[in-house]
Amino acid sequence: MRRKRIEAERRGRLAEQLAAVWLMLKGYRILARNLDLGVGEIDLLARRGGLLVVVEVKRRASRAAGLEALGPRQRARLVRAAEALRARRPDLAGLALRFDLVVIAPRRLPLHLADAWRMEG
């Protein structure tokens, strides 16, 4: 069981690396990876111009499975993490905030969904 967990974490880290490279090729600057804010973890924090992007990375067997993997509870946790980040980092508070999803699937290019969901309210 422990071996499966370690392997899953390794694959997840590789997916996050691939997503980071993909975003950098698209002109984003990666500010942080695996940012644990207590109320939630942000896989990738990126910036492009005046835009601060919270990126969730999903590695799944297919793109469709990756698109379905981000549920409402996880989106809410990411919103809370983004709010906590902005409270701790006033230098980022003035940037427009966006939530993106990057899906990594075997034998496919990464799928980057900009503005994948919005904060409520």
Q: Which domain holds residue 61?
A: 2-117
pLDDT by residue (tens digit) across 81-103? Answer: 999 999 999 999 889 999 999 99
pLDDT by residue (tens digit) across 98-114? Answer: 999 999 999 999 999 99
The answer, yes or no, to whether residue 121 has pLDDT greater than 60, is no
pTM of structure: 0.91
The count of structural domains within the chain is 1
Q: Which residue has the tokens 């069981």?
A: 1
Give the Å distances, CA to CA, from 65 to 70, 81, 82, 87, 118: 9, 24, 25, 33, 21
Query: Which CATH number does the domain housing residue 96 bear?
Result: 3.40.1350.10
Give the Å distances, CA to CA, from 21 to 38, 46, 96: 26, 11, 22
